[in-house]
Amino acid sequence: MGSYALRRLAGIVPTLFIIITVAFFLIRIAPGGPFDIERTLPAEIEANIKAAYNLDKPLVVQYVDYLGGVVTGDFGPSYKYNDFTVAELIAASFPVSLKLGASAMVIALLLGLVLGTVAALRQNSTLDHIVMTLAMTGIAVPNFVVAPLLALVFGVYLSLLPVAGWAQGGVADMVLPVTAMALPYVAYIARLTRGSMVEVLRSNFVRTARAKGLPLRRVLLRHALPAALLPVISFLGPATAGIITGSVVIEEIFQIPGMGRYFVQGALNRDYTLVMGVVIFYAVLILILNLLVDLLYAALDPKVRLK
């Protein structure tokens, strides 16, 4: 397993190279630039600004210079957030997205596993249909619809929770965004758990365990749940990366200074370096989490051998 992990880590390098290359040229193909404003600047001032950020060089030269900076961990300065480097903005925003995303994923995992297991144990019952209907609703209704509704009901009508802002990052500030972020993942995990658990409960080793007189709780926790978790674990890799880096829509709606909000503002402002920094960070997180998921998958399933 150790050699497999090392090979996968080595494989991250060419994958990142491809991602950086594609993202670098795609963002520059889009119309507009970081210093396009309604009032046209004098030509000499515009030339000085471009020279200060090396934007006056040929695109290939900019690309090579950017790669050299990325290798040393330098993502360059932000074009719109003066006096801040991209690395500083990511370092300031990632803990916020991590706090929100980790909280949402823990809630989604716990609720999804419980609801999926209960639905599987009561297959084709009224409870099963209710759980699956709620799960399908959670998948079908996008979070940019759920989030404003939550803010309207609990923030405006009931005045129980703040509708926006991130004062000290307290529990009150987190309830609505975490709920809006977690609901779709609760639905996905519940459906995956239910489908996998139904199949596992019909397996011979579970029937044997129950025939020996083991309590249902022990059969579920010791035998059925580890096997039923495999599809869920496969889903958790990209899902965790996506939810931790922050939901773009949720952070915009609730005005939370996380990575998702910086990414949106960077894209709108053509802040090339900020967008590239977030993309690279996001890509590294996905690749590492997928590797951890593969290792955990092999640890739970003895039939899987990583070579």
> How much is the average pLDDT of 71-80?
85
Q: Give the distance, in angstroms, between the CA of residue 275 and the centroid of all CA atoms in the same chain.
A: 16
Average pLDDT over residues 111-132: 87
> Residue 276: pLDDT above 80?
yes
In a domain, 238, yes or no: yes
268 is a domain residue: no
Residue 107 belongs to domain spanning: 98-260+281-300
Inside any domain, residue 194: yes
Rg of the chain in Å (alpha carbons): 24
Contacts of 161 (CB under 8 A, 6+ apart): 154, 155, 172, 175, 176
Instruction: Give the tens place of pLDDT for each residue, 142-196.
Output: 888 888 888 888 888 888 888 887 877 678 888 899 998 888 889 889 988 888 8
Distance between CA atoms of residues 97 and 49, nearest Å: 32
- Mean pLDDT, range 254-275, rounded to an integer: 83
Residue 161 domain flag: yes
Domain count, the chain: 1
| Phi, psi dihedrals of residue 77, rounded to the nearest 5° | -80, 155
- Residue 17 within any structural domain of the chain: no
pLDDT tens across 191-214, in order?
A: 888 888 888 888 887 778 777 777
Question: Is residue 148 in a domain?
Answer: yes
- Position 18 confidence tier, pLDDT thresholds 50, 70, 90: very high
Share of residues in the chain with pLDDT > 90 (%): 3
Q: What share of the chain is helix, strand, coil (3-state, %, to 5)?
A: 75, 0, 25
User: How much is the average pLDDT of 273-281?
Assistant: 89
284 or 39, greater pLDDT = 284
For residue 256, is pLDDT > 70? Answer: yes
- Region 254-282: mean pLDDT is 84
Q: Is the pLDDT of residue 5 over 80?
A: no
Q: Which of 120-129, 151-160, 296-305 has the lowest mean pLDDT?
A: 296-305
Query: Of the candidates 102, 80, 98, which has an alpha carbon nearest to the alpha carbon of residue 256?
Result: 98
Is there a domain that residue 14 lies in? no
d(CA 288, CA 297): 14
pLDDT at 52: 75
Longest dimension (CA), the chain: 85
- Amino acid at residue number 83: D
- Categorize the per-residue pLDDT at 306 as very low, low, confident or very high, splitting at 50, 70 and 90: low
pLDDT in the model for residue 41: 65
Find the CATH number of the domain harbouring 213: 1.10.3720.10
Q: Look at residue 301 in the predicted model and tell me its pLDDT.
A: 62
Mean pLDDT value across residues 49-64:
81
The reported pLDDT for the residue numbered 240 is 79
Residue 235 lies in a domain: yes
